[in-house]
A and B are shown apart, each in its own frame.
Chain A
C-alpha cells in the first residue's frame, strides 16, 4: 500500500469531501475503488501480499494480539475470526490465511478512537494457519493460530 493512500485515509476531512462528491454524483463508486489495493488482495503468497498491503514483511510475534478462531472448522465457508489487539496505537488489523489461493482475506483500518477489535467470518479452502497482522507505530505485529478445516469453503 503506498503512503499516499495511508495519509488519504487518515485525513477524515478528505474522506468527507469524497463522500460528498459521491453523493453529488461527481464520482462513481468505481472511481473511488481505484484505491482498493488490488495487488495485495490478488497476491498468491503471504510475503507479496504483505509487501503490497503494508510495504513490509517483518512480523514480530506479539502476545498482545488475541486471535480467536475455532480449532476445527466443520465448514470452511464460514470460519468466525475475532482479533483483539491491546497494542497501543493500533492502526490496522489484517487477516491472512496462508493456504488460501489469495492469502489476504481482509484488512481493517482503524481510526484513533476505534478499539483494537474486529470480528468477522472468512472462507478457508483447507486446513491452514490464520495470521492476524496488526500495524502499530509503523511496525507489524502478528499472532497465528491453526484452524483445521474438514470441508473446504472455496470452489464447490
Chain B
C-alpha cells in the first residue's frame, strides 16, 4: 500500500503543526458483510510513529474505535523548516507504510 499517507507539517513561531491523513479501512471486526452475511475481519492500524530527524516525537497506539481513513494532528517544538519528518504505521494484519516529508 504505497502512498497511503498524506502529511503536512508547517513551522510557525517555533511550533511545528503536523497534520496527517492515512487511507485505511479501519475495520472493527464487528461488522457484517450484508451480501455474504459473514463478519468482515478486523483490519485496523495499531501503531503510528512520527519521527523528526530520526528522533521519535509521537507514538500513537490505536484500537478499532479510530475512524476510517484516520486523521491525526499534533504539535511539537524544536524543528526548523526543511527538516525531515517520517510518519509510519503498522496494522493488525502486518501491513505497513511510511512516508518521509519535509517540514515547511
Contacts and interface: CB of A to CB of B under 8 A. Distances in A.
Interface of A: 9, 12, 15-16, 19, 28-30, 32-33, 36-37, 41, 77-80, 82, 97, 100-102, 104-111, 113-115, 117-124, 153-156
14 contacts: A12-B55, A33-B46, A33-B47, A106-B66, A109-B59, A110-B57, A110-B58, A111-B57, A111-B58, A114-B75, A114-B76, A120-B60, A120-B72, A123-B28
Contacts, number: 129
Contact of A101 (B30, B32, B57, B75): B30
B98 to A, nearest CB: 9
Interface of B: 15, 28, 30-32, 34, 46-47, 49, 51, 54-68, 70-78, 90, 92, 94-96
Specify the main secondary structure of chain A where it touches its partner. mixed
A118 B72 contact: yes
Given A123-B67, A153-B67, A114 B90 contact: no
Specify the main secondary structure of chain B where it touches its partner. strand
A77 B5 CA distance: 20
Nearest to B46: A36
A105 B60 contact: no
Given A12-B56, A120-B66, A109 B73 contact: no
